[in-house]
Chains A and B, each alone.
Chain A
Amino acid sequence: MGVIQFKNVGKVFGPKESGFVALKDINLEIADKEFVAIVGPSGCGKTTCLRLVAGFDNPTDGAVMVDGTPIKRPGPNRAVVFQQFALFPWKSVYDNIDIGLRNLSVPKAERQSRIAAILNLMNLEPYAEHFPHQLSGGMQQRVAIARAYVLDPDVLLMDEPFGALDAQTRVVMQEELVRLARKNPRTVLFITHAVEEAVYLADRVVIMTRAPGRIKEVLDIASIRKAEDWDSHEKIEDVMDLESFVHLRTQIWRSLREEKADQHA
């Protein structure tokens, strides 16, 4: 199960009275196996939200919970995919994926079969013995996703995972992620500032205000996606051409633009 709850969450960096208020009054519930994207202007606290669920930081106010239990520290049930890949440069692709399973004391035979399956799924089989520095950015991020997925986590946390990739690779990765998510669904919290990416991938999109970050709006994508049958289109450019898609995208842009305008006011 992977139900995430933010209850009156606030986060201040530095001393409580005078520090930087990153988040204020965040209330959000993410259902099991739901794919939620958070978008917002820079510094709005979206990454902070992810870090709270990951357990890298703790909230100053309120509580962040997974399946009803408050989150205290990081763990493999909330696997993270970082923007900078964060692979271990001294380990091969195979070993990078293996180590999470070893930490869970998974027996060797099972580890081997699980890794073989994920390598196959992510098209990484020929690269199992390669080292990260021998791979392109896109491939490294595939390894990072594989590393997270192989843990069979309750929650998948993705922090601008395609931000460091070039535009073409990005599109390919988005298509792959959609395929993966439909095939092997689980709760996903996806941070991005690319609106189209969010609309394409997510069931719901959360729009945040600039700092101090609050939730401005939550848009339901899944119902429109199902009603307009986006999944019948294999290519991403066909989906992005649909009127329903464009409408949602524009709605979000307008909302974000208000935030940006306020910033310069």
Chain B
Amino acid sequence: MSRRVAIGFVTILIVGLIWLMVTSVFGVIPSGRFPSPAETWSALIHVSGRGYGGGDLLLHAYNSLRLVVMGFVFAIITGVPLGLLMGWSRRAEALINPVFLIIRPIPPLAWIPLAILWLGLGDAAKILVIWFAAFVPSVINTFAGVRNIDRPVIEAAYMLGMPRMRFVTEVLVPGASPMMFTGLRLSLQASWTTLVAAELVGAFYGLGRVLNVAQQDLYPGMILVGMGAVAILGWATTRALGMAEARVMSWNTAALAAKG
């Protein structure tokens, strides 16, 4: 085990101990403020078994995950092609850029009230906001990815008489993919953040709803469980994306080096 991992372990252990002592053993932090490990555990049992806020943990997690995946996928299906187009065609870039520049400063979360106004508190509003949050980084990074392709490689493709469709699939997309994947990672992050926020504002199911109800019930143990669940799902989806990236980009030494 490397030194770094070992120290990491020790740190987490120590933090865990401090948590235990500060909350349960010495009662420095009253249980109303921050839950002790025991309280967190019982909240976890609570939401896994009896359910809380309208469903059990699996149901809430599933719903949140479902919405994130749907919004994320819609975003990349729309964002990546647009990024490719804007990267490739300077005309398209000139035409679309100003609109983009205007919409961009508006944080995705700021669309939540509008989405709720339009679509209510159900899934559709959430997917809309997630789509928007994930769309922007996809476009921008795919655009940058295309522009980043070495000029001689593009000229070589021309010289080889590449028909248009093949040019897109066998040159543009692979060439842009390093930065494109960076954009996808950012999109995924944005998707989770937006989903949690949207569910906090108002939802029937989901981890955000669990957080919301727990807050109103003054149930800190449950809040911690909710946060933990969000973190774990976020980590898992990011990992999945990372694996896809490694598979697709086995040719890219820089990316491989970054993964370590």
In this complex, the member of B156, B159, B175, B253 whose beta carbon has the largest number of chain A beta carbons within 10 angstroms is: B159
Closest beta carbon of chain B to A104's beta carbon, Å: 7
Cα-based distance from A87 to B252 in the complex (angstroms)? 13
Contacts of B170 in A (CB 8 A): 88, 91, 99
Contacts of B163 in A (CB 8 A): 103
Contacts of A99 in B (CB 8 A): 160, 162, 166, 170
Cα-based distance from A133 to B257 in the complex (angstroms)? 13
Residues of B in contact with A, size category: 20 to 34
Among B20-28, B147-155, B193-201, the stretch in contact with A: B147-155
Contacts of A100 in B (CB 8 A): 160-161
Tell me if A89 is interfacial: C-beta within 8 Å of chain B: yes
Tell me if A80 is interfacial: C-beta within 8 Å of chain B: yes
Q: Which of B159, B177, B251 contacts A79 (CB under 8 A)? A: B159
Are A88 and B174 touching (Cβ within 8 A)? Answer: yes
Given contact pairs A86-B153, A88-B153, A133 touches B251 in the complex (Cβ within 8 A): yes
Are A75 and B161 touching (Cβ within 8 A)? Answer: yes
Q: Which of B156, B162, B166, B177 contacts A80 (CB under 8 A)? A: B156
Are A131 and B251 touching (Cβ within 8 A)? Answer: yes
Chain A 79-107 per-residue mask, 1 if CB under 8 angstroms from chain B, else 0: 11011111111110000000110111000
Tell me if A54 is interfacial: C-beta within 8 Å of chain B: yes
Closest beta carbon of chain A to B191's beta carbon, Å: 27
Given contact pairs A86-B150, A86-B153, A103-B166, A78 touches B174 in the complex (Cβ within 8 A): no
Tell me if A76 is interfacial: C-beta within 8 Å of chain B: yes
Tell me if A257 is interfacial: C-beta within 8 Å of chain B: no
Tell me if A56 is interfacial: C-beta within 8 Å of chain B: yes
Are B159 and A78 touching (Cβ within 8 A)? Answer: yes
Which of chain A's residues has its CB closest to B170's CB? A99
Q: Which of B155, B174, B175 contacts A56 (CB under 8 A)? A: B155
Are B152 and A84 touching (Cβ within 8 A)? Answer: yes
Contacts of B9 in A (CB 8 A): none
Contacts of B249 in A (CB 8 A): 90
Which of chain A's residues has its CB closest to B171's CB? A88
Cα-based distance from A88 to B251 in the complex (angstroms)? 10
Closest beta carbon of chain A to B68's beta carbon, Å: 29
Cα-based distance from A131 to B154 in the complex (angstroms)? 18
Closest beta carbon of chain B to A73's beta carbon, Å: 7
Tell me if B62 is interfacial: C-beta within 8 Å of chain A: no
Given contact pairs A99-B170, A131-B251, A86 touches B152 in the complex (Cβ within 8 A): yes
CB under 8 Å from chain A, chain B span 159-186: 159-163, 166, 170-171, 174-175, 177
Are A89 and B159 touching (Cβ within 8 A)? Answer: no
Tell me if A137 is interfacial: C-beta within 8 Å of chain B: no
Which of chain A's residues has its CB closest to B157's CB? A88
Contacts of B175 in A (CB 8 A): 88, 90
Which of chain B's residues has its CB closest to A89's CB? B251
Tell me if A70 is interfacial: C-beta within 8 Å of chain B: no
Cα-based distance from A54 to B153 in the complex (angstroms)? 14
Tell me if B41 is interfacial: C-beta within 8 Å of chain A: no
Closest beta carbon of chain A to B256's beta carbon, Å: 9
Contacts of B150 in A (CB 8 A): 84, 86
Closest beta carbon of chain B to A95's beta carbon, Å: 9
Contacts of B177 in A (CB 8 A): 90
Q: 15 A-B residue contacts at CB 8 Å?
A: A54-B159, A56-B155, A74-B159, A75-B159, A75-B161, A79-B159, A80-B156, A80-B159, A82-B152, A86-B156, A90-B174, A91-B251, A99-B160, A102-B166, A131-B251
With A56-B155, A80-B155, A88-B157 already in contact, 12 other A-B pairs whose C-beta atoms are closer than 8 Å: A74-B155, A75-B159, A76-B161, A82-B156, A84-B150, A86-B152, A87-B156, A99-B170, A102-B166, A103-B166, A132-B251, A133-B251
